[in-house]
Structure 1
């Protein structure tokens, strides 16, 4: 459904608010609130109803609701005094009072039912990864919780639909496969999808056990699986955690599986999406050789599909990495290329989280941490389970001395993606957050974990040197300094601070002094 009021257009299907035809950046909860108020504009919407709709019954303070309403009014050019579009009924709730023109989308062309001609029923994009989320199978007597077996998959469809790189089959089609013995190849053929997410919800006494499985419909192989356990009286409060965990896992596991399959294809025969996913696999190995391979694969993807936003963003990321990690000596040229490609990606699709992330990182290379915050925050607003977005945001916050937020976002990134290829960096961010607060002992613990993690490289080793030196553990600091000199003999303190543009001056001075004491 589309609604028009004043110069705004609210597009429910695209989950988008436009002004004069241009999309506006809006937090998901704020946009959900607007949609609910507009849909029920003929009556008062109570605070309890908003709580149930927006926060799924989870307790939130009145100030949290007031903040969302204030943000929404600001987005619409309204305020609490004028109440031109949103009226407050004190102590009770809110009502949308603007004049609305309603546009229903044109009816879709008639399609053959899924059950009649399976292969022709639904056509997903040819090369884009696609998924069907099936209703979960209920085991046991669910009683008042029986609906969870369909409620969770329904919410998963909504959340996964926000991933710009993934084609998600609508509930009306995927929920036709309710049989416990549904054949995955049949699901793939009928719905035209590469992946299928299924699960069981088992009610036993006072607990619910949820088992979830992601399978590749092309060979019926299990790509990922997980189990969750929750008390029935707490199931709704942990629902958001379960949803976030599943979405974040799929955002990591599907690209990894796509990259693994792409390796079996001759390079010259890779389609755009296969080249892109294989490029992602190389770029996150964070070394010069793999970064160069990733760049070539992203360029191949762009050549095969002009305007491929994610591949353009990936290419921007390779230039960021060249500058940040010092893979090449031309820092300024690489930084400029990262920004140019980020500009191009955002211009093509400003709602793609990866495009916003690389734009934030391009600002970082220009020592504009403050300028990076808005882009990195927007990346996580567009995709609330985007671990890489929260990770990059936490780095920027730690360097700016915003230690509490940096620690919170670092922890969230790790919880969303516990097997992330850049997990060592997430640990390093937590270390910097502690060091920024003067908590050197805690910082040293996290720095040590970071430096010892698989994939850790010179930046993490330098943080370990400084962290241990600041605790007075000169011996451990010297050991990491020796390791750094052996593995990266040309690395200097100037290189470190060029890549990490601290705006927290006291923290930078402490770090510089600690590194200098070990000849770095």
Structure 2
């Protein structure tokens, strides 16, 4: 997005003003004010609105606003007498006058106490990662104030659902106490990640905050500490924590805001995020609601690969949980939507993940492993990709790979919505290895985790029964019947088509003993 007027070119995303291709040096506040005036050039902009947009509504004198207006005029070759670029309407505000080519002006960013009254945020979520502020850090470690955010930007750039501002733009906000709201306004992003790095007693600590640019609300925070000799581990942990947090926090925030603005204002991405909100509840009604929103997203934006991935996921659940009246049709739909998603974006790890999962439904475990491996190559911080790979390794009877992939998934996302599945895979692997007491411990932990469905409770029935914990097994059998009265061993083996023949016989016998 760029705007051109005369020989000037204003690029709000790069946070840059040029004249005849030469960069014009201006202070960040001055450039933010110019961006706001150009963005809202079709109307009068009041002094109060400028204070809100540029100074975050903080108390600011008329003299300060007038000083910045003079600096804006100087940057674009205007002055208070000629006023050919910015006209002052005394007592009311300012107007940007020249004709501008480029994208149409956006609505003004003015905070209201009622979020529902605000214009809806549309399109893909966006984020800027600011340099860290160093506090009492030796010169040899001060470089981490730039290096860590740079690594975060590189990792976030792999997330196809999130737009990440380039370092060249976000690193312009290098201040002792960066103005997060100014950065959000100037860079045109919804979220800003900022923080500090400090040294104390031989340790380095990094404190991070994720701020919603529209509400100025901190929606996530984390503090990580390590000894100075463990800097590399600290850097890795920071990136992992950021990716895991954003995969959960941002979609939830996007869905919540969309719901408060009203269904008639949902765009494709709003529908997608609301679909995700339902997707991980694993009930027939929520799966249907998720499908509805993914279908709306696909209709509003036929090029949105993630809408197809969401539809593949809902079809997968229809088949995996046997909640669809026509399971073969659900299996086919899961594959078809994944294929369409890959046509639209072959580099999206979530789309690739859904393709891998669709291969489970046809018991093509080798095909599943290849697609899931590709998903984790595309995004090495993709926790669900590692979980699905662990599931596949368990079915193939590879305990070493199962353990490694599960530990990676848990390290990446300890609060993942598929956490019950991670524990369930571990329990199933332990059953196959004959370690029934440990299998029972993990199975009960899995079945007690939020989101766990009836198949996870069936693992608990098997593991507890084989471990001799018959009261526990009976309790989980009743839970299975409550959730799915017609559950059977066929459902179990369709979901977990293990290649370990010996353990399959043991599991089948235990299921029969409990009436499945």
Is the shorter-chain TM-score for this pair beyond 0.5, marking a shared fold?
yes
Query: Does the 8 A contact of 2:127 with 2:164 survive in 1?
Result: yes
State whether structure 2 residue 200 is matched by structure 1 residue 283.
Answer: no
Q: For 1:219, what is the secondary structure of its paired residue? A: coil
| 1:118 equivalenced with 2:35 (yes/no) | yes
1:252 alignment partner in structure 2: 248
Q: Which has the higher contact order (CA 8 A, sep 6+)?
A: 2
Question: What is aligned with 1:439?
Answer: 435
Give the Å deviation of 1:112: 7.2
User: Would the aligned equivalents of 2:127 and 2:190 in 1 still touch at CA under 8 Å?
Assistant: yes
- Picking from 506, 510, 514, the partner of 1:510 is 506
Gaps of 5+ in 2: 1-19, 40-101, 107-120
Aligned positions of 1:192-341 closer than 5 A: 192-341=188-337
**In structure 1, C-alpha distance between the alignment counterparts of 2:270 and 2:296, rounded to whole Å:** 10
Q: Is the CA contact (8 Å cut-off) linking 1:131 and 1:195 kept in structure 2?
A: yes
Is the 1:335–1:365 contact (alpha carbons within 8 Å) kept by the matching residues of 2? yes
Using the TM superposition, name which of 400-409 and 153-162 deviates more. 400-409
Q: Does 1:171 align with 2:164?
A: no
Deviates more, 1:445-454 or 1:429-438: 429-438
- Stretch deviating more after TM superposition (451-460 or 472-481): 472-481
- 1:140 — aligned with what? 136
Matched, 1:356 2:352: yes
**Deviation string for 1:216-250 (max 9, x for gaps)?**
10111111111101000111233222212222211
Local SS of the residue matching 1:197? strand
CA distance in 2, matches of 1:112, 1:444: 67
Match of 1:473 in 2: 469
2: CA distance, partners of 1:294 / 1:473: 38
> How many residues end up aligned between the 2 structures?
413
Instruction: Say yes or no: does 1:412 pair with 2:329.
Output: no
| 5+ long unaligned stretches in structure 1 | 1-107
Q: Distance in 1 between matches of 2:307 and 2:455?
A: 26
Q: Is the 8 A contact 1:216 1:223 kept in 2?
A: yes
Stretch moving more, 113-122 or 237-246: 113-122
> Could you list the per-position Cα deviations for residues 118-173 of structure 1 after superposition, in whole angstroms to 9, with x for gaps in the alignment?
34699999611110000001111323211111110011111111111111111111
Cα distance in 2 between the residues matched to 1:241 and 1:146: 18
1:424 Cα deviation from its structure 2 partner: 1.2
In structure 2, how many angstroms separate the alpha carbons of the residues matched to 1:483 and 1:470? Answer: 18
> Structure 1-normalised TM-score?
0.76
1:373 matches 2:369: yes
Question: 1:248–1:417: 8 Å Cα contact kept in structure 2?
Answer: yes
Mapped to 2, the partners of 1:277 and 1:110 lie a distance apart of 41
Q: Which residue of 2 aligns with 1:161?
A: 157
Deviation at 1:343, TM superposition (A): 0.9
Contact 1:312–1:344 (CA<8 Å) still a contact in 2?
Answer: yes
What's the TM-score once normalised by structure 2's chain length? 0.77
How far, CA to CA, are the matches of 2:202 and 2:139 in structure 1? 12
CA distance in 2, matches of 1:286, 1:184: 38
Determine if contact 2:133/2:177 at 8 Å carries over to the other structure: no
Task: Provide the alpha-carbon RMSD of the alignment.
Answer: 2.1
Cα distance, 1:417 vs. partner? 1.5
Deviations 1:292-316 (A, max 9, x none): 0110101111111112100111011
* Higher CA-based Rg: 2
Structure 2 CA distance for aligned equivalents of residues 175 and 323 of structure 1: 47
Match of 1:484 in 2: 480
CA distance in structure 2 between the partners assigned to 1:112 and 1:194 by the alignment: 26
Give the CA deviation at 1:110.
Answer: 7.5
Cα 1:205–1:328, aligned 2, differ >3 Å: closer, same or farther? same
Measured in 1, the distance between the counterparts of 2:240 and 2:137 equals: 26
1:500 is the counterpart of 2:496:
yes
Could you tell me how far 1:507 is from its partner in structure 2? 2.5
Does the Cα contact within 8 Å between 2:122 and 2:267 map onto a contact in 1? no
Q: 1:442 to 1:378 in 2, by over 3 A?
A: same
Change (3 A) 1:180 1:286: farther
CA contact (8 A) 1:447 1:463 kept: yes
Residue 111 of structure 1, CA deviation: 7.8
Question: CA–CA distance in 2 between the matches of 1:363 and 1:491?
Answer: 23
Q: Tell me which moved more, 309-318 or 503-512.
A: 503-512
CA distance in 2, matches of 1:185, 1:509: 62
Give the Cα separation in 2 of the matches to 1:497 and 1:341. Answer: 25
TM-fit CA distance, 1:209: 1.1
Superposition deviation, residue 349 in structure 1: 1.3
| C-alpha deviation, 1:378, in angstroms | 0.6
Confirm whether residue 390 of structure 1 aligns to residue 417 of structure 2: no
Query: Are 1:411 and 1:430, in contact at CA under 8 Å, matched by a contact in 2?
Result: no
- Alignment deviations for residues 74-133 of structure 1 (CA, whole Å, 9 cap, x no partner): xxxxxxxxxxxxxxxxxxxxxxxxxxxxxxxxxx98787783233469999961111000
For residues 238 and 440 of structure 1, the distance between their equivalents in structure 2, rounded to whole angstroms, comes to: 37
Does the 8 Å contact 2:454/2:479 carry over to 1? Answer: no
